[in-house]
Chains A and B, each alone.
Chain A
Amino acid sequence: DVQMTQSPSNLAASPGESVSINCKASKSISKYLAWYQQKPGKANKLLIYSGSTLQSGTPSRFSGSGSGTDFTLTIRNLEPEDFGLYYCQQHNEYPDTFGAGTKLELK
């Protein structure tokens, strides 16, 4: 199975700041990485797929980059609604595997 190592586990930032979350695959997954946001009481939200393609409705302040084994989710000009949990998922091969998550908290 492809192991996904996500970092950092926790991140504190203020509205208006920019943050980056990293995801490293144990082997090459080409461009096939997705990013999700999870918030209490809401369905998980797909933000980005295939490494850098924004899902319809994802604000442009979100961006994804990387290929092979190293990927980054960047959020610029943080808005209050951006605070929550973020997960990466490789969708290159079964079994699909997820990172352990990053909790983005308000500083």
Chain B
Amino acid sequence: EVQLVESGGGLVQPGRSLKLSCAASGFTFSNYGMAWVRQTPTKGLEWVASISTGGGNTYYRDSVKGRFTISRDNAKNTQYLQMDSLRSEDTATYYCARQSRSSHWFAYWGQGTLVTVSS
């Protein structure tokens, strides 16, 4: 059974950093691209970042470029999202998602971890 379990969310002050983790199981992690998607009540679902199977290719939405870094450790079956210079508009539930092998729809999602950026 495919499982994606996020961790690392919480309350953080504007300008500070937070690192999210996503532990994967039930599939060969190194064979799939991975992504982070966030959701707020006002903006809905927003793709944040994606990473290729080996980690050599990364993609970001414009609003997080230069502030967020997606990475993965295939030996640990885990992907990460390092979030620096956090802003109030980054407040959201962050989901880990597995991409398909041929395109970037998301066949599996985690349950999400809440990040709240507030002073």
The answer to whether residues A91 and B103 also contact, given A98-B46, A98-B47, A101-B44 and a CB cut-off of 8 A, is: yes
With an 8 Å Cβ cutoff, the count of chain A residues facing the other chain is: 23
Q: Smallest CB-CB separation from B110: which chain A residue?
A: A43
A34 close to B110 (CB less than 8 A): no
How far apart sit A100 and B44, CA to CA, in the bound complex (Å)?
Answer: 6
The answer to whether residues A96 and B100 also contact, given A34-B105, A46-B105 and a CB cut-off of 8 A, is: no
> Chain A 74-107 against B: per-residue CB contact (8 Å), 1 yes, 0 no?
0000000000000101010011111111000000
B contact patch SS? strand
Q: Is A32 an interface residue (CB 8 A)?
A: yes
**B34 to nearest A CB, angstroms?**
13
Chain B: number of interface residues, binned into ranges? 20 to 34
**A58 to nearest B CB, angstroms?**
11
**B102 to nearest A CB, angstroms?**
9
The answer to whether residues A87 and B105 also contact, given A43-B111, A94-B50 and a CB cut-off of 8 A, is: no
Residues from chain B with a CB closer than 8 A to the CB of A43 are: 4, 108-111
**A91 to nearest B CB, angstroms?**
5
> Which residue, of B46, B59, B106, B111, has the highest number of chain A Cβ atoms within 10 A?
B106
Q: Smallest CB-CB separation from B4: which chain A residue?
A: A43
Residues from chain B with a CB closer than 8 A to the CB of A41 are: 111
B103 close to A95 (CB less than 8 A): no
The answer to whether residues A34 and B45 also contact, given A44-B95, A94-B50, A94-B59 and a CB cut-off of 8 A, is: no
Since A91-B103, A96-B50, A98-B45 are in contact, a sample of 4 more A-B pairs with Cβ atoms closer than 8 Å, ordered by chain A residue number, is: A34-B105, A44-B109, A95-B47, A96-B104
**10 closest cross-chain pairs (CB), A and B:** A96-B47, A34-B105, A98-B45, A44-B109, A49-B105, A91-B105, A43-B109, A95-B61, A91-B104, A94-B59
